[in-house]
Amino acid sequence: MLLKFFKKTGPGVIFMIAVIFIAVWVSAFIHPVSYPEYSAKDNYMPLYRLMVGLLGSGQLLSSIVSFSMTVVLLFLIINFNTTIFFINERTFLPALLFTLIVVAFPEFQMLNAILPASLLFMLSMKRIMDGYHNQGVAYNFFDAAILISTGSLFYANLLWFGIIVFIGIILLRTVNIFEISVSLLGLLTPYLITFGLYYVLGYDLKELGSLIYSNLFTDIESYSFPRLTIVTLIFETIIILISIGDIIMLQNTKKIKSRKTFSLLIWVFIISLTVYFIVPSVSVELIWIAGIPVSYFLSHYFIFTRKRIVSEIFFTIMILLVLLIQCLYILK
């Protein structure tokens, strides 16, 4: 059975995950698009504009870079559980499940602003959890705030996730006004540096302010969901709700650090949904952030559920739906 195989940790599992990842990424090379069509290049955030300028207009290069960055992100997703060990199992399932989640939207398997932002966000989550039980003032939250704020200079809406730093302080520490103040400074620092550089280099500060405002609050064209994608999302939503309910039911059986890690991930998921439905400048590209906690929720469910046959069916259908989406996208 597929799920039984992927729950293992041998080299064969790594090889098969790599095969699936490459297979579903073929569409990004068959239909290479340098940058999202919905976004005007003159509206890119400063660091993403710099990245685009360095890479040039080569479509193949942009596909290779997006592929490589996703591989690094998958490594960070696995490493997060390996170091904190909150799922209580050594597993590669989060990487596979994250891949299956994001490739349900093949249009976003290109180089886009949220990709580097996702990498920095994953690093910030690691820094937040490193603050657990630190003696004295934990500067981990300052580091996490800087990482999130820097990521927002690629993808502006990552800034909304700055709230996760303060949630982390509340969950992991005795609330300390100094740590909160330092975290606020961490969120501000990349922007202070950016405005300072613009001023020194003679660029228009008002234009920079307008750029940030536009990226945060301007309406963008809504995504048109294909029918198969809608079916896949409904199916995945059912499994996600079951997996979150399963985690909540088992919270009291887990170690304190595991409980707090899952609580933090649930907050990331809640913020993702809130931002998607409320912020006008956000579209389905946010799946790159929302998919991170979801990959852990589903991994926990598939590993620990006692309903083996049901979980095998869920897992197999999920893979088949995603592969069908990819095939239709390639053949369009």
**Mean pLDDT: which of 50-59, 135-144, 265-274 is highest?**
265-274
Q: What percent of the chain has pLDDT over 90?
A: 72
**Ramachandran angles phi, psi of 5, nearest 5°:** -70, -45
pLDDT of residue 41: 60
**Given a cut of 80, is residue 293 above it in pLDDT?**
yes
Q: Which helix (H) or strand (E) holds 47?
A: helix 46-55
Contact present, 101 and 291 (Cβ < 8 Å): yes
Q: Are 296 and 84 in contact (CB under 8 A)?
A: no
Torsion angle in degrees (nearest 10) through CA of 158, 164, 169, 171: -160
Give residues with Cβ within 8 angstroms of 169, minimum separation 6: 131, 141, 175, 176, 179, 180, 183
136 has a pLDDT exceeding 80: no
Predicted confidence band at 331 (pLDDT cuts at 50, 70, 90)?
A: confident
Eight-state DSSP code of residue 7: T
- C-alpha distance from residue 195 to each of 143, 185, 206, 211, 308 (Å): 20, 15, 10, 12, 55
Amino acid at 148: I
> What mean pLDDT do residues 244-266 have?
92
Global pTM exceeds 0.85: yes
Q: What is the chain's mean pLDDT, rounded? A: 91
Q: Which residues, 6 or more positions from 282, have their beta carbon under 8 angstroms from its beta carbon? A: 157, 220, 275, 276
Task: Give the span between the Cα atoms of 41 and 219, in whole angstroms.
Answer: 16
Q: Is 169 exposed, middle or buried (0-12, 13-18, 19+ CB in 10 A)?
A: buried
Residue 153 near residue 120 (C-beta atoms within 8 A)? no
Residue pLDDT, tens place only, 168-191: 999 998 888 999 999 999 999 999
pLDDT at 274 over 50: yes
Least confident of 73-87, 101-115, 128-142, 147-161: 128-142
Task: Report percent pLDDT > 70 for the chain.
Answer: 95
Question: Given this model, what pLDDT does residue 37 score?
Answer: 45
Contact yes or no for 95/78 (Cβ under 8 A): yes
pLDDT, tens digit, 9 for 90 and up, residues 204-214 = 999 999 999 99
Which tens digit of pLDDT belongs to each residue from 46-85?
A: 999 999 888 877 778 888 899 999 999 999 999 999 999 9
